[in-house]
Amino acid sequence: MKSLSIGSAIVLLVLVAASESAKTESTIFGPQPMQYPMPATSTFIVSDFLQFLQTAVTCFNKLRIPEERFPLYLAGVFPNCPETQCFVRCLSANLNLYCDETGSDIDRHYLQYGLGQDYNCFRQKAEQCLAANTSPCNDPCEAAYKQELCFLEEFRKYVDSNMNSLIAAVAVEKTENNPVYYNMNCRLASALAPFGTRDPPPGPLREAQTACVKYLGICKTRLVQYNNSIYPTDHDTMCMVRCAGIIVGFWDDSQGFKLEGLMQLYPQLAADSRAQQQILSCAEQRIATCPPPDTCAKAYNAFRCFLDAQKHGFGVREPQPEEPMSTVVDAQEFMRSISICSKIQRIPKNLQDLYLQGVFPNDEKTRGFMRCFGIRTELYDDMQGPNISRLYRLFGTGQSETEFRRKAELCIKANQPLLDGQDKNVKAYRTLYLCFSKQITAFIRANANAMP
């Protein structure tokens, strides 16, 4: 039988991968491959993003998965079904991140997906999640799937960051008057619109970025990204944002995030008080989740709040949905609900400790807890499912409700085929937690002090 075709967008990605891999040195991804020392005197070769894409496409074709699944997988949405489980196993095994005998390798995941995160935090989180998701399983695909979901957040950030880099790489070739890459850039940008080139930042910020790239010794090709308002989540970029923020006045290591610095660069922001409040609230929450000494991460995460708000435009805002019967749960009540539902469900202390770190393993007790929590906070209803309007008002800082709702409904829809015949707890866990896990985790970590 012929191998499964997965559409022109996927073929295009393979063409880009093949073209870029043929170069002796990638202009965006640096010398490839590199060897990193690993524990037990072993070595591990990190795959660059183009190799990653080739591996994903190979697994996709090999397993004959329906082509409409590929965009979901690239978005980090992995429905709990046999074919997806085997795709996850195939991808991770071929990237040498997982093997059936020893399971997921934390150090290798850190090197492949870590993107400059604090190693100790990364490892602690992974160990806790793996401990809750590693149990005897006769199905090797299911066993791999359960463990690899512990790295889902890092996977999503890795794909998002490097897809931006891929777009920038093709854009660089365009500036060098290469017609093949020019056409490829147009087609790739059309197929992958969310990762396309954006409006350049104001002149003073571009000048600051140029100076900081030179001062910090960052590869000059990265400046092409920054000057197209593309800021990946690697630590070099974070430190560049901090440096530029100090120069133009939106960051100070002692005072923190200074919105007035951005208002001078973007006059339209000065006229939008609601956007200002959203950005400040978002920045406060994100900065609270960063390690105290990491000023680069703090500056970057605060700046991301501005970028998220800017993406949807200043000055024009959608009307807020009315909820006359109730107000949105505040941080203290949110955390109190965790405590109350833990008591109601008789959750053991080891699981409670995980919950307070924003980790909710897929087990029977946790699924029951999540339903209790969702109902108590009115974020979920057995008949209506997740209350997206209410979730937006709690988590939607810096986003338009339309975009927030679109992403939520996409995830909920992807999980619907898996809910037939399942109990209420499973439905709550899959549609509330799995579709809003990133927001729930960030909110818990930012408000840990509000725990009664």
Residues 279 and 381 in one domain: no
Distance from C-alpha of 149 to C-alpha of 361, rounded to nearest angstrom: 10
Residues 348 and 291 in one domain: no
Task: Work out how many domains the chain is built from and give that number.
Answer: 3
Looking at the DSSP bridge assignments, the partners of residue 98 are 104
Burial group, residue 292, by CB count within 10 angstroms (0-12, 13-18, 19+) = exposed
Which tens digit of pLDDT belongs to each residue from 121-153?
888 889 989 988 877 777 889 889 999 999 988
Tell me if residue 30 falls in helix, strand or coil: strand
What does the angle CA 422 – CA 428 – CA 429 come to, to the nearest 5 degrees? 90
Count how many residues are written for the chain. 452
Distance from C-alpha of 319 to C-alpha of 3, rounded to nearest angstrom: 49
Q: What integer best gives the mean pLDDT of the chain?
A: 77
Helix (H) or strand (E) holding 140: helix 140-148
Report the percentage of the chain scoring pLDDT > 70: 76
Distance from C-alpha of 304 to C-alpha of 314, rounded to nearest angstrom: 15
CATH number for the domain spanning 249: value is 1.10.238.20
CA 90 to chain centroid: 21
Residues 127 and 211 in one domain: no
pLDDT at 444 over 50: yes
Q: Residue 368: which of 390, 340, 347 has the closest Cα?
A: 347
Average the pLDDT over each of 163-167, 172-176, 385-389 and give the range with the smallest value: 172-176
Which tens digit of pLDDT belongs to each residue from 326-366?
455 677 888 888 888 888 888 999 998 899 888 899 999 99
In a domain? residue 9: no
Mean pLDDT of 417-446: 87
In a domain? residue 198: no
Residues 61 and 144 in one domain: yes
What does the angle CA 46 – CA 190 – CA 69 come to, to the nearest 5 degrees? 60
Query: Which pLDDT score, from 0 to 100, does residue 12 have?
Result: 47
In a domain? residue 325: no
Which tens digit of pLDDT belongs to each residue from 247-264?
889 998 888 999 898 888
Residues 221 and 153 in one domain: no
Residues 148 and 223 in one domain: no
Residues 142 and 60 in one domain: yes
pLDDT band at 367 (very low <50, low <70, confident <90, very high): very high
Show which of 144, 159, 174 is a domain's final residue: 159
Mean pLDDT of 389-414: 83
Query: Which pLDDT score, from 0 to 100, does residue 42 have?
Result: 52
In a domain? residue 2: no
* Cβ contacts of 78-82, under 8 Å, gap ≥ 24: 78/145, 78/149, 78/152, 79/414, 79/415, 79/417, 79/418, 80/145, 80/418, 80/430, 81/417, 81/418, 82/141, 82/142
Which tens digit of pLDDT belongs to each residue from 371-392?
989 888 889 988 889 999 888 8
Residues 358 and 394 in one domain: yes
What is the residue whose two structure tokens read 């008591």?
A: 343
Quickly count helices (H) and strands (E) in the chain.
Answer: 23, 8
Q: Residue 189: which of 411, 406, 16 has the closest Cα?
A: 16
Report the percentage of the chain scoring pLDDT > 90: 15
Domain hosting 62: range is: 49-159
Cα separation values, 20 from 184, 262, 269, Å: 12, 37, 39
Residues 226 and 294 in one domain: yes
Query: Which pLDDT score, from 0 to 100, does residue 452 have?
Result: 56
Residues 298 and 226 in one domain: yes
pLDDT at 216 over 80: yes
Residues 62 and 136 in one domain: yes
- Classify the C-alpha dihedral 263-264-265-271 as positive or negative: positive
pLDDT band at 369 (very low <50, low <70, confident <90, very high): very high
Mean pLDDT of 240-247: 91
